[in-house]
Amino acid sequence: MNITEIRITPADGREKSLVAYCSLTLDDCFAVHDLRVLQKRERLFVAMPCRKRMVPCPDCAAKNIVHARYCNFCGSTLADRSRDEFAERRLYVDVAHPVKESFRNELEHAILSKCASIQSFVNGIE
């Protein structure tokens, strides 16, 4: 599988660790949006597109974000997950991601190389 296009959009600086957004195209036929380039402890890495994890309301089955105390649709009290370590770690779930580590490394290298080639981007993170 070839990465045939990478588009980088520098972040506006409102979120401290967010450096840029990225969209890419695979084999000229499949596009993936909302990848994010993040910086933590001087290291840049690529986060896959993700969404907040949802849990169903026991009364109406509507989906609510995992840490919601009350259902957004019927107002029922939801289970307290504040001490749920799994819920804490899995607040977000990837909606698309590489299956093989080798492709993840290839993807990350390609995206970070593209970022490094954009002069204004490089100046912004130094």
**Contact between 57 and Zn ion per CB under 5 A:** yes
- CA 51-84-65 angle, 5° bins: 30
**Contact between 78 and Zn ion per CB under 5 A:** no
**Contact between 71 and Zn ion per CB under 5 A:** yes
**Contact between 65 and Zn ion per CB under 5 A:** no
**Contact between 77 and Zn ion per CB under 5 A:** no
**Contact between 4 and Zn ion per CB under 5 A:** no
**Contact between 76 and Zn ion per CB under 5 A:** yes
- From the list 4-12, 20-28, 76-84, 103-111, the region that binds Zn ion by CB under 5 A is 76-84
Tokens matching residue 89 = 């770690």
If the CB atoms of residues 30 and 73 are measured against Zn ion, the closer one turns out to be: 73
Positions that interact with Zn ion (CB under 5 A): 57, 59-60, 62, 71, 73-74, 76
